[in-house]
Structure 1
Amino acid sequence: MKPVENRILSILTAEFQPVHLEVINESHMHSVPPGSETHFKVVLAAPAFAGKRQVQRHQAIYACLANELQNGVHALALHTFSPEEWLANAAVPASPQCLGRSKHDHQ
């Protein structure tokens, strides 16, 4: 596991005590150098999300990952669930391929 991916996993585990957590580096799907850690998919089911709207769940994740988002993490695809939602429907959509281009492609 790479350093940024591992840090995100550790932070989210400590903050949310999840019943399910996946941190998936999807950087290879984007216009970034090989080995980058800039784009991640997070699948997180935690008791703290019970009764919360999606926007509240996402705000909580952004708050605890603020340092990572300011220092190299460009994008997070968030899929958040309460434990009950996770048990009832554990389907997570596949991420689309990036249609963006590197700033270097525009020269």
Structure 2
Amino acid sequence: MSIAAEIEARLRAELAPLEFVLRDDSADHAGHAGAREGGHFHVTVRSERFTGLQRVARHRLVYHCLSDLMQRGIHALAIDAKAPGEP
């Protein structure tokens, strides 16, 4: 399974998102020193699980879902974590 597929599977299973978009930006970082260590990704997730949580807590929840991937496949992860009804 690719890293992108694993990211998607884990976040869908843990967060039951109403909206989910995963973008692999790795090609934009070719030649960058850290690019050899893993991919660069951007994820947008809208989930009920984020209701009532501040931004840092939302990001921690995402990182918790992907903890081991952060060590073996993800070099950089940009996160847009939203609750339902938020712009």
After TM superposition, is the score higher than 0.5? yes
User: Helix, strand or coil for the counterpart of 1:84?
Assistant: coil
| CA radius of gyration, larger in | 1
Kindly tell me: are residues 32 and 83 of structure 1, through their superposed partners in 2, closer, same or farther at Cα, counting changes over 3 Å? Answer: farther
CA distance in 1, matches of 2:52, 2:74: 28
Conserved 8 A contact 1:25-1:37: no
Match of 1:101 in 2: none
CA distance in 2, matches of 1:37, 1:10: 18
Kindly tell me: are residues 70 and 37 of structure 1, through their superposed partners in 2, closer, same or farther at Cα, counting changes over 3 Å? Answer: closer
Match of 1:21 in 2: 20
CA distance in 2, matches of 1:51, 1:32: 40
- After TM superposition, the score normalised by the length of structure 1 is 0.72
Gaps of 5+ in 2: none
Gaps of 5+ in 1: 90-107
The equivalences for 1:1-107 within 5 A come to: 3-32=2-31, 38-85=39-86, 89=87
CA distance in 2, matches of 1:22, 1:71: 21
Structure with higher RCO (Cα < 8 A, 6+ apart): 2
- After TM superposition, the score normalised by the length of structure 2 is 0.88
Give the partner amino acid of 1:13.
Answer: R
Match of 1:100 in 2: none
Structure with the bigger percentage of strand: 2
Cα RMSD over matched residues?
Answer: 1.8
Q: 1:75 deviation in Å?
A: 0.5
CA distance in 2, matches of 1:16, 1:64: 9
User: Helix, strand or coil for the counterpart of 2:20?
Assistant: strand
Overall identity of the aligned pairs, in %: 31
Conserved 8 A contact 2:38-2:72: no
